[in-house]
């Protein structure tokens, strides 16, 4: 059994000042610098150009935090064990 904590807060992923399209995760992942944020459907990374993406969720592949892009920027809604995520 894993004892890893999967704590998260809704504001763990925030837009960069002056650039709402650039996000920064509390773990340090930053759009354009780190791996960025992947499109997620359930526990699977998807390519929205090739398949449905109704969840509109984004994954931070560094820490498993999952967010939706709300009117005021990203909102973290859950956090996954990366071992459980299927990447493209």
63 binding Zn ion? (CB under 5 A) = yes
Q: Which residues are within 8 A (CB) of 49 and not within 5 positions of it... i.e. 6 or more apart?
A: none
Q: Residue 29, interface with Zn ion (CB under 5 A)?
A: yes
Residue 78 backbone dihedrals phi, psi, to 5 degrees: -165, 175
Asked if 62 is part of the footprint of Zn ion (rule: CB under 5 A), the reply reads yes
Q: Which of 8, 25, 58, 79 binds Zn ion (CB under 5 A)?
A: 25
C-beta atoms surrounding 4 within 10 Å: 9
Residue range at the interface with Zn ion (CB under 5 A); choices 26-34, 36-44, 46-54, 67-75: 26-34
């Amino acid at each position: 059994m894993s004892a890893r904590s999967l704590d998260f807060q809704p504001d763990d992923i925030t837009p960069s000042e002056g650039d709402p399209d650039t996000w920064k995760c509390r773990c340090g992942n930053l759009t354009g610098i780190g791996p960025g944020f992947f499109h997620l459907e359930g526990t699977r990374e998807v390519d929205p150009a090739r398949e449905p993406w109704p969840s509109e969720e984004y994954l931070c592949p560094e820490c498993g935090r999952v967010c939706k892009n709300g009117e005021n920027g990203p909102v973290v809604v859950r956090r996954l064990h990366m071992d459980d995520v299927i990447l493209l």
